[in-house]
Structures are given as structure tokens and as C-alpha cells.
């Protein structure tokens, strides 16, 4: 009986560790292209190429090695994988979400 209890406890610990691993994954860094002027948080961005760094729920936009915008956000899963990287803008030019080629998950930025 004691061995079974120990095995169950070990399996429970392993399951808990496996479920928390994504929270400790390394930050995602991608080059993104913004095709028109946009806003992230309170920052205005000109059309162009930027580096996007997502660490947990925090997104940082970098231009020429300088952070130009930051925003909180969250990951969401979609039904289908994205065919390409894309930055989706709202009506007022606010960046709403970032999609990544070959992935079902997208990063939704807070306003």
C-alpha cells in the first residue's frame, strides 16, 4: 500500500510540474512588420520593422535596440493555425493581436 501511495504522489507532482512548465518558458522574440502607423498602449508607432519580445504576459516593442512601447496581454488559442505572421489593428490603429505563422495561439494586447 505504501508503494502505491508513493507512486501516486510522484505522479501527481510530475503532473503539476508538467502543467507549470509553459509559465517558465523562455521569452518569445520575433521581428514584426507594421504596415501602417499604429498604437501600442499610449505609444505611437510609425510603419516599419520592429522587434517584439513577449515575456509571460508582457509585450515589449523594440526599434533600433530601444524599447519604444510596452503592453500587457494574454495568450489565446484559435481553432486553426495561422498561415503567416500578422499584426492586427483595430479601427483607431491600436494593435489588437499578433499572430504567428504555424501556431494556433495568438497574443492579445490589452488597451
Q: If DSSP states are collapsed to H, E and C, what string results for the chain?
A: CHHHHHHHHHHHHHHHHHHHHHHHCCCEEEEEEECCCEEECCEEECCEEEEEEEECCEEEEEECCEEEEEEEEEEEECCCCECCCEEEECCCCEEEEEECECCCEEEEECC
Q: pLDDT (tens digit, 9 = 90+) per residue, 52-106?
A: 999 999 999 999 999 999 999 999 999 999 999 999 999 889 999 999 999 999 9
Q: Which residue has the cell 515575456?
A: 55
Predicted TM-score (pTM) of the model is 0.73
The enclosing H or E element of 63 equals strand 58-63
Amino acid at each position: 500500500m505504501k508503494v502505491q501511495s508513493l507512486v501516486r504522489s510522484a505522479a501527481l507532482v510530475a503532473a503539476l510540474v508538467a502543467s507549470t512548465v509553459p509559465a517558465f518558458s523562455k521569452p518569445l522574440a520575433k521581428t514584426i512588420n507594421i504596415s501602417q502607423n499604429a498604437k501600442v498602449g499610449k505609444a505611437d508607432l510609425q510603419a516599419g520593422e520592429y522587434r517584439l519580445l513577449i515575456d509571460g504576459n508582457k509585450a515589449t516593442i523594440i526599434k533600433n535596440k530601444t524599447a519604444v512601447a510596452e503592453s500587457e496581454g494574454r495568450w489565446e488559442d484559435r481553432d486553426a493555425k495561422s498561415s503567416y505572421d500578422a499584426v492586427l489593428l483595430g479601427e483607431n490603429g491600436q494593435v489588437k493581436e499578433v499572430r504567428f505563422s504555424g501556431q494556433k495561439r495568438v497574443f492579445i494586447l490589452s488597451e
